[in-house]
Amino acid sequence: MMYVINDLDTDSLKHLLRNAFLSSTLAAVAAGIVAEISAEFLGYAAPFEVAVGIYLVMIFFLIWQWKENYGDREAKVSTSFVAAIEVIRTDTRVLLVGLITSLFEATIYIYSLEWTPALEDAKLWTISDSLPLGFMFSSFMAFNMMGAFLFKALARRFDIHTYLPMVMLVAAVALSIPVIIPNVSIIFI
């Protein structure tokens, strides 16, 4: 079945979303590298100062280039909200995708908040130098991108249901490692 959303067919939408994911991941890798280098030479507040400069440049770029999509100005918010609730109520697939996405994102945010303290705590047991957190973040983002490409390759060859439980088990074990083995090298791997 071919869906068309805002004049984009399914294939164009997939291409657009893939490019958006690739761009944001590459930007995250670059941000980690810039953060680490700026922190090394200018101190720990430098990545935030660099971010302010980047935001100012982006504000001017957006003002200059952004064309707002206002959607259907005649549609009432309450009507759209009721229609969305009806879709969630009647199509359990939409509900499940929303719940899975929310739980996955919650896990990622918890991980993002806690990985630095976990590594710092483990570092106390192994090394005394400061950790290259920016480079480590860039590595995580690069592995994130590689995982997405690996998933796509596996999805072409196998039914997702055959290997997804194993992926979830490996992820659960990986997330429990900082609790079980407080070693910075093992945690990073």
Q: In a 3-state reduction of DSSP, which class is residue 9? A: strand
Does the pLDDT of residue 37 top 90, yes or no?
yes
- Who has greater pLDDT, 104 or 42? 42
Does the pLDDT of residue 121 top 80, yes or no?
no
pTM of the predicted protein model:
0.65
- pLDDT bucket at 124, cuts 50 / 70 / 90: low
The values of phi and psi at residue 26, to 5°, are: -65, -40
**pLDDT value for 19:** 85
Mean pLDDT computed over 51-60: 92
Q: Which helix (H) or strand (E) holds 116?
A: helix 92-126
CA-wise closest residue to 171 among 108, 118, 99: 108
- The span from the CA of 35 to the CA of 46, in Å, is 7
- pLDDT bucket at 1, cuts 50 / 70 / 90: very low
